[in-house]
């Protein structure tokens, strides 16, 4: 067996595709893979989030396999809800049933994407996350709550207290508050529509869907945007989610380990892959210092691998 330090990129690719093929055999349907390099990275400039460039990758993936049903391995920090809406449209335009597999983490808009599936299967250690929107990296609800707090304090203390709170008030413009309201409304609206049309299609589950959406979108309940929502919490919502059984559990964890290993060895921050060996990636060029600090300095490119 080759030593880890001498494993070539092509060998890692072959190992990944072997695992993908095993998952396909086990599940009996095509497998697509969408993975980002984001764990342990604090630099928000790294282009690893869901964005409109993913439209190309998902168009390639969806068009590369046949059938009415598909599995999608999803590992992502989330990103733009409008791009997520495009991805859902692409998948649903090609497949009648879509099943998401989460080996490790799917946060924010990636959670929204998972909730557009007919079913969700997760590794025992995997997690989804809240879907409350962020504005400039700050939860929209937190911005609104800050404004509400200043408003309530002024009501309590009277107009003479206004000068003390002017610096706080200046942080919040009316258009920013409108943006917060619209962003919260959009995330709830999209997930409500997807749950109604796909996961609970033909089922009279309006109240249950409302409870699910309220739970995932409640910043006041979760208190932080990256709060892990583990299986026990999710199962209580009666969504169609399950823990992967042992054969699949082992395979999806192997796939995740190999994906993570590939990211650690290269400058790639996204991969779009499938078992028939379509591989498409997004790369960032890093200088020596940024390699040491995991910070991207630019040069975003897409490459077929």
Question: Is residue 140 pLDDT above 80, yes or no?
Answer: no
H helical segments located in the chain: 9-27, 54-63, 81-94, 109-114, 140-157, 162-169, 174-194, 206-217, 219-222, 231-235, 246-265, 288-293
How does pLDDT run across 47-84, given as a tens digit for each residue?
899 999 999 999 999 999 999 999 999 999 988 899 99
Residue 79, strand partner residues: 50
Predicted pLDDT at 212: 95
Q: Find the farthest-apart pair of alpha carbons in the chain and give their distance in angstroms, rounded.
A: 76
How confident is the model at residue 175, as a pLDDT?
64
At 261-293, the pLDDT tens digits run 899 888 899 999 998 777 878 877 544 344 433
Whether residue 176 is predicted with pLDDT greater than 70 in this model: the reply is: no
pLDDT 10s digits, 80-91: 899 999 999 999
Q: Domain map of the chain by residue range? A: 4-129+228-304
Question: Residue range 172-186: average pLDDT?
Answer: 64
Residue 73 has phi, psi (to 5 degrees) of -75, 125
CATH, range 4-129+228-304: 3.90.226
| 30 close to 70: Cβ distance less than 8 angstroms | yes
Q: What is the mean pLDDT of the chain?
A: 82
Q: Is the pLDDT of residue 135 over 80?
A: no
Q: Residue 170: its pLDDT value, please?
A: 65
Q: What is the pLDDT of residue 292?
A: 39
pTM across the whole model: 0.82
């Amino acid at each position: 067996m080759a030593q880890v330090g001498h494993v070539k990129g092509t060998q890692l690719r072959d190992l990944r595709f072997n695992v993908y093929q095993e998952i396909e055999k086990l599940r009996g349907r095509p497998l697509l893979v969408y993975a980002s390099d984001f764990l342990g990275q604090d630099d928000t400039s790294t282009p690893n989030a869901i964005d409109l460039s993913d439209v190309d990758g998902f168009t390639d993936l969806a068009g590369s396999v046949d059938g009415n049903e598909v599995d999608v391995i999803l590992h992502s920090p989330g990103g733009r809800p409008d791009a997520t809406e495009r991805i859902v449209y692409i998948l649903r335009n090609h497949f009648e049933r879509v099943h998401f597999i989460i080996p490790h983490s799917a946060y924010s808009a990636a959670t929204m994407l998972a909730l557009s599936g007919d079913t969700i299967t997760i590794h025992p250690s995997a997690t989804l996350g809240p879907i409350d929107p962020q504005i400039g990296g700050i939860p929209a609800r937190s911005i609104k709550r800050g404004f509400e707090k200043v408003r309530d304090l002024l009501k309590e203390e009277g107009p003479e207290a206004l000068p003390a709170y002017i610096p706080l008030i200046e942080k919040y413009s009316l258009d920013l508050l409108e943006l917060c309201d619209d962003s919260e409304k959009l995330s709830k609206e999209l997930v409500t529509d997807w749950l109604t049309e796909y996961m609970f299609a033909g089922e009279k589950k309006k109240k249950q869907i409302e409870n699910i959406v309220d739970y995932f979108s409640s910043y006041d309940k979760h208190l932080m945007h990256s709060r892990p929502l583990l299986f026990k919490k999710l199962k209580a919502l009666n969504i169609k989610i399950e823990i992967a059984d042992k054969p699949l559990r082992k395979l999806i964890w192997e796939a995740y380990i190999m994906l993570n290993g590939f990211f650690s060895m290269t400058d790639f921050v996204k991969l779009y892959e499938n078992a028939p060996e379509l591989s498409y990636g997004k790369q960032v060029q890093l200088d020596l210092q940024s390699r040491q600090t995991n910070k991207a300095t630019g040069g975003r490119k897409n490459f077929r691998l």
